[in-house]
Amino acid sequence: MTRRRQKQWVLLLDIGNTHTHIGLSDGRGVVRHEDMPTAYWREGKAGRRLARFHPSAGLAGVSLCSVVPQATRLARRWAGLSCGARFCELTAGSIVGLGVDYPRPETIGADRLANALAAKTLFGAPALVVDFGTAVTFDVVDAGGNYVGGIIAPGLSAMTDYLHERTALLPRVKIRAVRRFLGRSTAEAMRIGAVHGYRGLVRELIGGLRRELGAPGLPVVATGGYARLMARGLPEIRKVDPRLTLEGLRLFFQGTTVGSR
């Protein structure tokens, strides 16, 4: 009788400006995920939250990407003191499975590289990833499987928050789907401007990239908090994968593990 192979749990940490996206991989996919405020690292709460998510004693490794240097240092320290598992940080210098054709690779956000790696591996190349986070990022993988650049624009919630914070009478609104274009209240008018207007921004940037690259059929994969909402009105987006960045971290960890043998 053959013995069942024990699962190798890997903790995945995507540290963004607002939220840290936490995932758990069993080696074949992301089986669980949730978010916590990135401020928890600074406030000393991250370790307890992660312990509730999965006991560190049962982990084979930690795979991390981060755009917040202070939180990165705290995550490294947590992993060294509390976890004891293999720690892999995705950067332009450490990534495997994805070429990087970019003038200053060290300036690329690590989450953008994770997205590109996942898109290439899961959906093929060329591909365009649109990540609806605090900022919305557009990242291109060329036909040769290389990250070649992209676009950064303000995020959807950043736009509506800015209107609220910089005006006396405009409220803070919760973004949700809208069908009409004629607003019958201030909040509705703001939602229409945000949702429909933002789709226009995304559509124009996708079209511009396709024209510049000479790839009118360039496949588009969306991820991030507002990906499903935006994709409903954007036929250009072929696939929505909310866990794309975490999948990139999973694939990165697997690649570094294989490379170290």
The amino acid that residue 137 corresponds to is T
Residue 5 phi, psi (nearest 5): -70, 130
**For residues 18 and 26, what is the distance between their CA atoms, to the nearest angstrom?**
26
**For residues 249 and 13, what is the distance between their CA atoms, to the nearest angstrom?**
8
- Tokens 């192979």 sit on residue: 5
- Tokens 């605090």 sit on residue: 134
How far from the centroid of its chain's Cα atoms is residue 180's Cα?
30
User: Is the Cβ–Cβ distance between 199 and 233 less than 8 Å?
Assistant: yes
**For residues 207 and 217, what is the distance between their CA atoms, to the nearest angstrom?**
10
Residue 105 phi, psi (nearest 5): -55, -30
**153 SS3 class:** strand
Structure tokens at 256: 């570094």
Question: Does 111 qualify as catalytic in the annotation?
Answer: yes
User: Is the Cβ–Cβ distance between 50 and 73 less than 8 Å?
Assistant: no
Residue of 111, 131, 139, 142 marked active site: 111
The percent helix, strand, coil of the chain (3-state, each to 5) is 40, 25, 35
User: Is the Cβ–Cβ distance between 137 and 152 less than 8 Å?
Assistant: yes
Catalytic residues: 111
